[in-house]
Structure 1
Amino acid sequence: MRLAGFCLAALILIGASCSREPQSTTPAVVPSPTPTGPRVELPSGAVYSLEVARTPEETAQGLMFRESLRPRSGMLFLFQDGQPHRFWMKNTMIPLDMIWLDGEGRVIFVSANTPPCRADPCPSYGPDIPIDSVLEIGGGMAEREKVTPGSRLRILDVARPPAPTGPPLITPKSS
């Protein structure tokens, strides 16, 4: 009798375990949250959150001394002077992709996987033509996100500073 009860209990347990739908072993895909605030949409469709360098001090500091950069993030440097702007990697700890843009968000020049520079003299990078802004993102991301000269980036929720007025801050030396 005990054996019959044991067999009946075993059959019930086996039947119960077979009647359930199998559980998926594939982990659920959790979408990345869409960034808010200043951001850029790249040609691949990826959206990166941005820090914006607005002051001369923020521009000079840039991403120096940072040991890492969050995924899908970068720094945008805004210029209003209609001049060329070359960048260097002095005291930058990580390789960066530097992307020069015109006023329409069109990519003018890309310096990909630009290496850090820890000792003088450090080379400078960039085109010798007027640009409107420079975007810095992690090294290798420009290629991954299909950023090439001529492609267009959408800068979102970034207020432009007013154009400078009055005499230039730097006057050319007279000969």
Structure 2
Amino acid sequence: MKRWLAPTFLLLAACAGAATGNQATAVVLHGQRFTTELATDEPSREHGLMMRTRLAADHGMLFVFPLSAPRAFWMKNTLISLDILYFDANRRLVSMQLNVPPCKSDPCPIYPSHAPARYVLEVSAGTARRMGAEVGDVLKIEGDVGPVR
């Protein structure tokens, strides 16, 4: 009877991980590769990088939306400064909000895209400038982002 416990536990753990929307993939922008957590559903997009005290230089979070639209992010409960990079449906960089500080007052400022976006990449503040990212750069996503809700 114990034979079924391990496979059942692994299946439940995999389902629980998928439900969070935080599976990982890699992206490449302007020649730099980042390991990214994926935010592909509303709960994971709302939580984003909240409560993180650090973000490695080669890590980030990729927010994937079902459709392109004007996007706006804020930094509520985000403890680290970020670069917020907005990409259209063709994964072309259309807008950047750089060195966005943590929110220190309520209400928190809003950081909008300047064009419709379907993908948003958050990386450590200063990363975009350091690697020379420019509007028009193409984001390469390695692998599949899975279902987007």
Length-normalised TM-score, structure 2: 0.78
CA distance in structure 2 between the aligned counterparts of 1:115 and 1:47, rounded to whole angstroms = 24
Amino acid at match of 2:49: L
CA distance in structure 1 between the aligned counterparts of 2:66 and 2:25, rounded to whole angstroms = 18
Question: Over aligned residue pairs, what C-alpha RMSD do you find?
Answer: 1.6
Q: Which aligned runs of 4 or more in structure 1 are off by greater than 4 angstroms? A: none
Give the number of aligned pairs. Answer: 126
Shift of 1:129: 3.4
Change (3 A) 1:50 1:101: same
CA distance in structure 1 between the aligned counterparts of 2:95 and 2:66, rounded to whole angstroms = 18
Match of 2:113 among 110, 127, 133: 127
In structure 1, the partner of 2:25 is: 38
CA distance in structure 2 between the aligned counterparts of 1:158 and 1:146, rounded to whole angstroms = 26
Q: Verify the 8 A CA contact 1:91 1:118 in the aligned structure 2.
A: no
Tell me the percent identity: 37
Shift of 1:56: 0.7
Q: Deviations over 1:11-69 (max 9, x none)?
A: xxxxxxxxxxxxxxxxxxxxxxxxxx6111111x1211010001111100000110000
Length-normalised TM-score, structure 1: 0.67
Shift of 1:149: 1.1
SS of the residue aligned with 2:60? strand
CA distance in structure 2 between the aligned counterparts of 1:103 and 1:160, rounded to whole angstroms = 16
Shift of 1:144: 1.0
In structure 2, the partner of 1:154 is: 140
- Between 1 and 2, higher relative CO (CA 8 Å, sep ≥ 6) is seen in 2
CA distance in structure 1 between the aligned counterparts of 2:115 and 2:83, rounded to whole angstroms = 19
Match of 1:97 among 76, 80, 83: 83
Q: Gaps spanning 5+ residues in structure 1: where?
A: 1-36, 165-175
Q: Gaps spanning 5+ residues in structure 2: where?
A: 1-23
Counterparts in 2 of 1:109-120, with a 5 A limit? 109-120=95-106
Q: Larger strand proportion, structure 1 or 2?
A: 2
Amino acid at match of 1:42: L
Shift of 1:127: 2.1
